[in-house]
């Protein structure tokens, strides 16, 4: 069965990486471009957490280190990869070629992810605000996935079947409730197949993976 790929979008500290913690560590391979420790006590159980430095390292890990037993591949994060590509491109190119070079490689990465239909690929990314101009001169702000350059701004979501946005809400007792928004609220670009999830679900990738498996079983 071809699996959908997943984009999780949210601000720093809103629980994107923490959502990994309840997955079976043996099922997961993490491509950690952020090169940060996982922010939960169970992190030591995730043995396949590969720190990578370059875009080439990301592709090599996808091609050669993903094994049949890895049911879920997590890429942390798209913004970090985009930053590294832009830095490299500025040493190699000038003018418009800087972002052209960057965008080609982002598109190649997204194309590689799309072909991994036997895995659930989860990409983490920061959020951004995008102002869209209307023909009458007015504008509307959207919350979308972040990537360097204008070409892919508010467009990255097209390359994913499921786009979830983080949300943090304070409970009456003062504790924090971390959750995912599964479909657009008119401002963000969240989406998921009809009937797969409720509007709000726990910030937990196990809930997401179980929802995908139950939907397509």
Between CA 181 and CA 85 the distance in angstroms is 29
The whole-number pLDDT of residue 123 equals 98
H/E element, 109: helix 96-115
Which sequence spans correspond to the domains of the chain? 6-216
pLDDT of residue 89: 96
- Its CATH architecture, for the domain 6-216, is 3-Layer(aba) Sandwich (3.40)
Contacts of 188 (CB under 8 A, 6+ apart): 9, 127, 142, 143, 144, 165, 181
pTM of structure: 0.94
Q: Give the integer Cα–Cα distance in Å for 166 and 178.
A: 7
**pLDDT value at residue 153:** 78
> What pLDDT shows up at residue 137?
74
Return the pLDDT at 158: 93
Asked whether 152 and 110 are in contact (CB, 8 A), the reply is no
| d(C-alpha 124, C-alpha 58), whole Å | 14
Q: Residue 126 has what pLDDT?
A: 95
Let me know: does 171 contact 36? Beta carbons within 8 Å: no
For the chain, which ranges sit under pLDDT 50? none
- At residue 140, the pLDDT reads 80
For 137-193, the pLDDT digits (tens) are: 778 888 999 999 877 777 899 999 999 999 998 888 988 899 999 999 989 999 999
């Amino acid at each position: 069965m071809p699996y959908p790929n997943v984009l999780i979008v949210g601000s720093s500290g809103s629980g994107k990486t923490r959502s990994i913690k309840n997955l079976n560590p043996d099922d997961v391979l993490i491509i950690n471009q952020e090169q940060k420790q996982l922010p939960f006590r169970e992190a030591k159980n995730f043995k396949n957490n590969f720190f990578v430095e370059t875009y080439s390292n990301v592709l090599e890990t996808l091609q050669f280190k993903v094994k049949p037993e890895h049911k879920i591949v997590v890429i942390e994060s798209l913004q970090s990869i985009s930053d590294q590509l832009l830095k490299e491109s500025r040493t190699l190119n000038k003018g418009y070629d800087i972002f052209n070079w960057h965008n080609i490689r982002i598109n190649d990465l997204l194309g590689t992810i799309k072909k991994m239909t036997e895995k659930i690929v989860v990409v983490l990314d920061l959020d951004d605000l995008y102002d869209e101009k209307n023909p009458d001169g007015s504008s509307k702000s959207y919350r979308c996935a972040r990537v360097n350059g204008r070409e892919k701004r508010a467009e990255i979501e097209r390359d994913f079947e499921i786009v979830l946005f983080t949300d943090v809400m304070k409970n009456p007792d003062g504790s924090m409730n971390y959750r995912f928004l599964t479909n657009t609220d008119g401002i963000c670009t969240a989406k998921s197949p009809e009937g797969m999830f409720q509007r709000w679900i726990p910030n937990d990738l196990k809930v997401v993976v179980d929802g995908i498996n139950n939907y397509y079983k």
